[in-house]
Amino acid sequence: MESPRNGLALKCLLSGVAVGVAFFCVLAYGMTTTDQRSFCASCHLMQEAAVTHKMGTHADRACNECHAPHNLLAKLQFKAQAGLHDFLANQSGKDLSCPATSTIRAVVNENCKSCHAQTNVTGAAMDAKFYCTECHRNVAHMRQKPLSTRMVAYE
């Protein structure tokens, strides 16, 4: 039974699994890291969003808990697309679209509901307004606060 051939197969299999696990770990780590404020805020453009996020009640949640779909299949594609778009837009010196695009608003709104479903089981919270943040306005990055609390010039 101890033929060198079998030993090689086992080694191959084990190292394959190890590489696979390592690869998966790196991917998972990368996916998680690139969900976070510290990564998002590495572009100056995101400074206002990051600062108001950190000051807000959702500070300990990752950006992408609101800003990307929770479903993994949808999320992978969404992140790749959004990342590419933001990268190119930033290179060309464009400013953020204001208000956020309807795609992003829809994704964010779904995520409001997915965490806060229990609060709204009996209420008809989605009947009168399109988006939760139409009432919970300052969840949308404290837009009603004076600019000096949200922004600063940068070189």
Partner 1 sequence: MNKRIVNLATAAVALLGAALLSACDDVKTDLKAPVYKTVLKEDETRMSAFKAAFPKEYASYQKNNETQVMTDYKGSIAYHKNDNINPPPHGFKHAQPYLKNLWLGYPFSFEYNEARGHTYAIEDFVNIDRLNRYGADGKALMPATCWNCKTPKMMTWYKQYGDKLWSMDANEFRAADKISGMDETINCANCHNPTNMALRLYSEPLKDWLKRTNQDWNKISRNEKRSLVCAQCHSEYYFTHKDNGPAAKPVFPWDEGMSADDMYRYYMGHGAKDASGKTGPFVDFKHAASGVPIIKMQHPDYEMFVDGPHGAAGVACADCHMQYQRVAGKKISSHWMTSPLKDQEMRACRQCHADKTADFLRARVIYSQKKVFDQLIKAEALSVKAHEAVRLAGAYAGDSAADYDTLMKQAVEMVRKGQLFWDYVSAENSVGFHNPAKSLDTLATSMESSRIAVDLALQATNYGISSAISGDIEKIVPPILEHSRKLMQSPEHLQNHPWLKLLKPFPAAPQVWDGQIRLTSEATAK
Q: Rule CB under 8 A: which residues touch partner 1? A: 30, 33-34, 37-39, 41-42, 44-45, 47, 50-51, 54-55, 93-95, 98-100, 134, 137, 140, 143-155
For residue 98, the minimal CB distance to partner 1 (Å) is 5
For residue 79, the minimal CB distance to partner 1 (Å) is 14
Amino acid identity, position 85: H
Cα angle 141-48-55, degrees, rounded to a multiple of 5: 55
- In this structure, are residues 49 and 141 in contact, taking their beta carbons and an 8 Å threshold? yes
Nearer to partner 1, 31 or 125 (CB): 31
For residue 43, the minimal CB distance to partner 1 (Å) is 9
62: closest CA among 75, 74, 53? 53
Nearer to partner 1, 121 or 128 (CB): 128
For residue 63, the minimal CB distance to partner 1 (Å) is 11
132/154 Cα distance (integer angstroms): 32
For residue 148, the minimal CB distance to partner 1 (Å) is 4
Nearer to partner 1, 45 or 76 (CB): 45
Nearer to partner 1, 71 or 101 (CB): 101
Residues of 118-129 as b/e, b for ≥16 C-beta within 10 angstroms? Answer: eeeeeeeeeeee
Nearer to partner 1, 122 or 144 (CB): 144
- Surface-to-core class of residue 66, CB atoms within 10 Å of its CB (0-12 exposed, 13-18 middle, 19+ buried): buried
144/137 Cα distance (integer angstroms): 8
